[in-house]
């Protein structure tokens, strides 16, 4: 079973996250940040990864620590659930529109964390959340999960639409990448024979 649960407790945040990579997109998410919850619900639903997340953070300061640490916790859970990554397709890509916005997301479950971010927002905030924090979430998630992640907003005017198309794009690309490859269900998809931390 490709499932994992992690807890992350610091002086800034207390977070519990659990994933089931072979789920149906069931979620139970409460970060204290309404818009972030909405985005993580999209991630779960469209990736078919069951996701449970409970977070308490220093929101009286700002949303930075909670946003970043939820990315770390969810990423760590995904990494643990992937294990040695044997049998996975490894690569995934998605073009996802939302009304006037179009985003492209490409992922490699390489265990070599890297984020390419070519995204601009037209608004500084969505609800009470600073739009600059989305990059922090994706960076933290990619680093903790061991993903090479390329994200581009090809165009768009509405910042809500841009953000949502990015999360849905990650969901669809990740859904492809973590799927078991029917042609090689037991082998690690690398000429090295390993996608470990040193992969």
Average pLDDT across each block of 10 residues of the chain; the chain has 199 residues. List them in order. Answer: 96 97 98 97 98 97 97 98 94 98 97 97 96 98 98 98 98 97 70 58
| Cα-based torsion angle of the residue sequence 19, 53, 42, 159 in order, rounded to the nearest 10 degrees | -140
Edge-first strand listing for the sheet containing 101-108: 91-98, 101-108, 148-155, 114-118
The domain segmentation of the chain, as residue ranges, is 3-177
pLDDT at 191: 54
Q: Which residues contact 33 (CB under 8 A, 6 or more apart)?
A: 59, 63, 66, 67, 128, 129
**Tokens encoding 65:** 């620590």
The whole model's pTM is what? Answer: 0.94
- Quick one: pLDDT at residue 197? 58
117-152 as b/e, with b when 16 or more CB fall inside 10 Å? bebebeeeebeebbbebbbbbbbbbbbbbbbbbbbb
**DSSP 3-state assignment of 159?**
helix
pLDDT of residue 198: 45
**Could you tell me the CATH superfamily of domain 3-177?**
Imidazole glycerol phosphate dehydratase; domain 1 (3.30.230.40)
Q: How many CB atoms lie within 10 A of CB 176?
A: 16
CB burial of residue 109 (10 Å; 0-12, 13-18, 19+): buried
pLDDT number for residue 183: 77
Bridge partners (DSSP) of residue 18 are 5, 52
Residues 35/39/45/51 CA torsion (nearest 10 deg):
-90
């Amino acid at each position: 079973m490709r499932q994992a649960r992690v807890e992350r407790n610091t002086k800034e945040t207390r977070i519990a996250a659990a994933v089931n990579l072979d789920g149906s997109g069931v979620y139970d998410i409460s970060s204290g940040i309404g818009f972030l919850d909405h985005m993580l619900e999209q991630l779960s639903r469209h990736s078919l990864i069951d996701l449970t997340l409970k977070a308490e953070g220093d929101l009286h300061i700002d949303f930075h620590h909670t946003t970043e640490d939820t990315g770390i916790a969810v990423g760590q859970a995904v990494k643990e659930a992937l294990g040695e990554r044997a049998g996975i397709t490894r690569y995934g890509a998605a073009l996802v529109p939302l009304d006037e916005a179009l985003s492209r997301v490409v992922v490699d479950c390489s265990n070599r964390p890297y984020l390419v971010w070519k995204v601009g927002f037209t608004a500084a905030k969505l609800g009470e959340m600073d739009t600059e924090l989305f990059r922090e979430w994706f960076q933290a998630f990619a680093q903790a999960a061991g993903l090479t992640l390329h994200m581009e907003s090809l165009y768009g005017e509405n910042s809500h639409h841009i953000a949502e198309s990015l999360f849905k794009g990650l969901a669809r690309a990740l859904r492809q990448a973590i799927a078991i490859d029917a042609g090689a269900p037991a082998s690690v998809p690398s000429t090295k024979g390993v996608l470990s931390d040193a992969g």
